[in-house]
Amino acid sequence: MDDARVAVETGVDGVDVVIGTSQFLRKFSHGKDMNYIAQSAIEVIEFVKSKGIEIRFSSEDSFRSDIVDLLNIYRTVDKIGVNRVGIADTVGCANPRQVYELVKTLKSVVSCDIECHFHNDTGCAIANAYTALEAGAKLIDVSVLGIGERNGITPLGALMARMITADRDYVLSKYKLHKLRDLENLVADAVQINIPFNNPITGFCAFTHKAGIHAKAILANPSTYEILNPHDFGLTRYIHFANRLTGWNAIKSRVDQLNLQLTDDQVKEVTNKIKKLGDVRQLSIDDVDSIIRDFHAAQSTTNTPLLKPVNNGNDEDVEEPEAKKQKV
């Protein structure tokens, strides 16, 4: 109660009451039984509500707590008017099936909103968060890049990626997705970490295509190998053509960007030269451009040189990703 009074005196808009309900936390953390927890929760909630402040009650370690204990305490706080109740997978042990069952059950016994908090110790935080929404939860706790205790909690960006595949129009209307990269870069710089190369949406590899068969399909129709549209997030895709796995369709696209003209057979021939050099050493974009230009110049000595009159307008699809221009 003392903490609740101090919180109210600071002028906050809401107070979150959290207490462990599993046997582990009741025995080795605070040492209180469920009767004590219920009485304390009632006292604090009624006090906070009397001050006109929003109040949330959340159990800790919910998925290792007895289901009867959980439902009893949630039903109790719901009856006295708590604004929302929270479920916390404190150690990251829950799976989506368990999450759906608990949220669905809880929704049948309380009238207030349900909020969920998932840790990622076993890699299920994103799936659990999305499943909780499907089961009727209204709020999900997230953090930028999923930063939190141990393996962290549900990452904001990854949950956006999961949600936009379900209802693109709704997500685009509600969230400023183009600010995600700047936000993640800001946090990454502040805590002195690199954004993982395979991070959903903003990772260096998220919209990078390398293998020849992938590049061909992406150039024809990006949906073949992309479920997310990089433009929705203010980003562009990158066809990585400077490598030994490149295909002639990717090289043909680069030839067009360089405003040169080669036949398909000539593009295939220069592609073989690029792949052979790629077997010897790592290639840069300058390496590939030099090979293409030299090959084109050689063809021009025996043929009338041809230049494309205009760019084909696909520069944005092969622009080198921001993460590569900077330090990865």
**Closest listed residue to residue 120, CA positions, set 196, 207, 56:** 196
Q: Distance (Å, rounded) from C-alpha 154 to C-alpha 89?
A: 11
178 is catalytic: no
Q: Which of 119, 214, 240, 296 is catalytic?
A: 214
Strand partners, 119: 153
Planar angle of CA 33, 38, 44, nearest 5 degrees: 125
- Spacing of C-alpha 89 from chain mean position: 19
Question: What is d(CA 219, CA 217) in angstroms, rounded to the nearest whole number?
Answer: 5
Cross-strand pairs, 139:
115
Q: Identify which of 91, 119, 79 has the alpha carbon closest to the alpha carbon of residue 28.
A: 91
Report the phi/psi class of residue 16: left, alpha or beta, with left for phi > 0 and alpha for psi in -120 to 50: beta
Residues 192, 225: Cα–Cα separation, whole Å: 32
Q: Which residues are catalytic?
A: 214
